[in-house]
Amino acid sequence: MPWRLLVAAMLILGYLANAYIPRTSRLIGGLSSVRASSTAAGRRNAKKSKGDEAESALPFKMEDLVNLCKRKGFVFQSSEIYSPMAGFFDYGPLGVELKNNIKKLWWRDMVQRREDIVGLDSSIIASPSIWQASGHVAGFSDPMVDCKESKLRFRADQVFWGKLETVDGQEACYVTVMESDNMLDVATTAAIKKAKKAGVAGPFKTLKLSDLTEATAEDYPKIPSPATGEPGHLTPPRDFNLMFQTSVGAMSDASSVAYLRPETAQGIFTNFLSVQRTARMKVPFGIAQIGKAFRNEITPRNFIFRSREFEQMEIEYFIPPEDEAWPAFHQTWIDNSWNWLKSIGLKEEFMHKSVHESNKLAHYARACTDITFTFPFGTQELMGIAARGNFDLTQHGTSSGKVMDYFDAAENRKYVPHVIEPSLGVDRLFLALLTSAFSEEEVEGEKRTLLSFHPAIAPIKVAVFPLVNNKPELSALARELYTTLKQRYMCEWDVSGAIGRRYRRADEAGTPFCLTVDFESLEDNSVTVRSRDSMQQVRMKIPDLLPFLSKEIDGFSL
Ligand code: ATP
């Protein structure tokens, strides 16, 4: 059950009944009826405790990364020459390389190098029946509130309120703040000021903050709107479906309504039997897919962390249905995912695991563990690994009338397999890799900005420089080397400025190796190889370069 849906449903029910009761008892009292309508949209995870969103202690800010991305051509705001639309981004020359490398390595390690996983590329727009069956039409939503005065809309779980009381229990005032790392300080200062203005003297109890979904009927009318600062302006939380609608065909009426997929997973479930039969896969096996997903997020924020158009890399790993089967598969996928993320350069000290509390899971889900990551704005979900039972296949079987049974020839039995779902966002991983790689240091009195990407992830693998640009024989040799290496890797040709400047530019792009062709090269067919992280330089014969680069970048030499 999606937490946000559950709470919103409870709040609305509470309003209708005009009887707010404490949140926990509402939850228990209404659980069965709400669960009856619970959906696959439950993958929109249960809210984690505040501790999961701990303030980041990184020595740089989000704006450092955003500025670097813009300056170097990793990521641009979409439609920048008009007024940019929030939640959409364009990936520039370096960004598209980084993104392609992420997807290429994931595909290599999850599909190419395994025997038990095959790939799929399903359509973005598909029958709306899929989203009816999965539950996304009914329940893929966030609770939101409108300010009736300012006409602004807020996500209810991002607006925090507090009631200030004197130590002897007298109500002083209510305050509202938007979620932020220092919201308690901001709210406390504002509340004390407000109380004093109203003539209420302290001492006061410590202020406690809750989000709007946690407000009781008694509190709600007194909570000020974050837009106007006045109480009574906020509507009750209402569900807002996150799917983008479109229409298919020439006619635009109810029958032509379709949706841009909010996740890639459902395309895997609907193709389960076709893939299993054509690829002759035997349980346990997986189907992997990389593709765009679209969510009309109410508050897209934190750069590419939460956007409205993003890419997912998802696997549905089908397993036997027995209750004792899933825990080991689930654990294996948690370990695999953790190790893979490390192997492509995520810093382990920024990685954490967050296990979903069992009472907040969707009713069909067995377990879910998120791998969270410390971004500059705090620690948040990077990917989820869920044990989802056989909910999705069963729903599609019932809804389509098609049999979703897998026939196990070895055991001569039929069953609907259960599934483990590792689901990872390409854009979030992109941001996590940037966070892991970014640093600033001083070298010989000058600032050096460095992106120390793993060579396999780095957008440009090699930069080739002739030492000077006015010696044709040097340029010719350097150009020949550049053209040769470019057949195999993304390479950069840079002739402008002193060598030191060129190194800095390459460091900022995350290029792991710079090759300088100098006068000695003409004599001995060797070049200077400079490593980005250590800044060390070694001489290497030109014929040795490809085996060296291949070992460093691909992990093996041909
Ligand atoms: P969140 O709780 O942050 O909204 P979610 O639990 O709804 O995420 P899932 O539905 O489990 O996310 O999607 C799987 C993965 O897809 C996430 O772990 C994340 O990496 C990525 N993802 C989800 N929503 C977005 C988004 N709006 N922008 C970028 N990536 C996203």
Report which ligand 1 atom has the smallest distance to the Cα of 312.
Answer: 16
Amino acid at 281: M
Nearest Cα neighbor of 312 from 269, 375, 271, 264 is 264
| Torsion sign, CA atoms 12, 17, 22, 27 | negative
Higher pLDDT residue, 140 or 547?
A: 547
Q: CA-based angle 21:22:27, to the nearest 5?
A: 95
Going from the Cα of 295 to the center of ligand 1, the distance in angstroms, rounded, reads: 9
In angstroms, rounded to a whole number, what is the distance separating the alpha carbons of residues 492 and 514? 9
Work out the percent of the chain whose per-residue pLDDT is above 70: 90
| Torsion sign, CA atoms 104, 109, 110, 116 | positive
Higher pLDDT residue, 191 or 251?
A: 191
Q: Which pLDDT band holds residue 50 (cuts at 50, 70, 90)? A: very low
Higher pLDDT residue, 148 or 337?
A: 337
Going from the Cα of 425 to the center of ligand 1, the distance in angstroms, rounded, reads: 6
Amino acid at 120: L
Q: From the CB of 44, is ligand 1 less than 6 Å away?
A: yes
* CB distance 191 to 173 below 8 Å: yes
Tell me if residue 305 falls in helix, strand or coil. Answer: helix
Please report the pLDDT score of residue 369 as a whole number: 98
- Cα distances (angstroms) measured from residue 31 to each of 9, 25, 61: 10, 10, 41
Please report the pLDDT score of residue 30 as a whole number: 24
**pLDDT tens for residues 397-409?**
999 999 999 999 9
Containing 536, the helix (H) or strand (E) segment is none
* CB distance 465 to 478 below 8 Å: yes
Please report the pLDDT score of residue 19 as a whole number: 24
CA torsion 471-472-473-477 (nearest 10°) is 110
**pLDDT tens for residues 252-268?**
777 889 999 999 999 99
**pLDDT tens for residues 322-358?**
999 999 999 999 999 999 999 999 999 999 999 999 8
Ligand 1, atom 16, lies closest to the CA of 425
pLDDT at 554 over 80: yes
Please report the pLDDT score of residue 36 as a whole number: 25
Going from the Cα of 429 to the center of ligand 1, the distance in angstroms, rounded, reads: 11
* CB distance 413 to 471 below 8 Å: no
Write out the DSSP string of 6-37.
Answer: HHHHHHHHHHHTT----HHHHHHHHHHHHHHT
Containing 370, the helix (H) or strand (E) segment is strand 367-375
pLDDT at 178 over 50: yes
**pLDDT tens for residues 309-325?**
999 999 999 999 999 99
Q: Which pLDDT band holds residue 56 (cuts at 50, 70, 90)? A: low
Q: Where are the alpha helices (DSSP H) in 230-306?
A: 265-270, 272-278
Tokens of 154: 């807020």
Q: From the CB of 422, is ligand 1 less than 6 Å away?
A: no
Nearest Cα neighbor of 270 from 420, 365, 416, 404 is 404
What count of residues does the chain have? Answer: 558
532-535: long-range contacts at Cβ-Cβ below 8 A with a sequence spacing of 24 or more?
A: 532/450, 532/452, 532/506, 532/507, 533/450, 533/452, 535/443, 535/503
Please report the pLDDT score of residue 503 as a whole number: 97
Q: Where are the alpha helices (DSSP H) in 37-92?
A: 62-72
Higher pLDDT residue, 341 or 15?
A: 341
Residue with tokens 């990917």: 383
Please report the pLDDT score of residue 363 as a whole number: 81
pLDDT at 25 over 50: no
Query: What value does the mean pLDDT of the chain take?
Result: 89
Specify the range with the lowest mean pLDDT, choosing from 15-19, 188-192, 477-481, 485-489: 15-19
Q: From the CB of 155, is ligand 1 less than 6 Å away?
A: no
Nearest Cα neighbor of 434 from 408, 458, 399, 466 is 458
pLDDT at 282 over 50: yes
Give the count of alpha carbons within 13 A of 478, CB side only: 28
In angstroms, rounded to a whole number, what is the distance separating the alpha carbons of residues 406 and 223? 54
Please report the pLDDT score of residue 202 as a whole number: 80
Containing 436, the helix (H) or strand (E) segment is helix 426-437
Going from the Cα of 411 to the center of ligand 1, the distance in angstroms, rounded, reads: 38
In angstroms, rounded to a whole number, what is the distance separating the alpha carbons of residues 472 and 466? 10
pLDDT at 80 over 70: yes
| pTM confidence score | 0.82
Going from the Cα of 311 to the center of ligand 1, the distance in angstroms, rounded, reads: 10
Tokens of 547: 């085996």
Q: Where are the alpha helices (DSSP H) in 455-494?
A: 472-486
Please report the pLDDT score of residue 51 as a whole number: 36
Specify the range with the lowest mean pLDDT, choosing from 150-159, 256-265, 302-311: 150-159
**pLDDT tens for residues 505-533?**
999 999 999 999 999 999 999 999 999 99
Please report the pLDDT score of residue 301 as a whole number: 84
Tokens of 368: 């879910």
* CB distance 106 to 124 below 8 Å: no
Pairing status of strand 378-387 against strand 245-247: unpaired
Report which ligand 1 atom has the smallest distance to the Cα of 306.
Answer: 28
Work out the percent of the chain whose per-residue pLDDT is above 90: 77
Which whole number is the average pLDDT over 9-23? Answer: 29
* CB distance 289 to 314 below 8 Å: yes
Please report the pLDDT score of residue 253 as a whole number: 79
Q: Which pLDDT band holds residue 201 (cuts at 50, 70, 90)? A: confident
Q: From the CB of 158, is ligand 1 less than 6 Å away?
A: no
Most confident of 1-10, 119-128, 439-448: 119-128
Ligand 1, atom 21, lies closest to the CA of 425
Going from the Cα of 355 to the center of ligand 1, the distance in angstroms, rounded, reads: 16
Going from the Cα of 2 to the center of ligand 1, the distance in angstroms, rounded, reads: 13
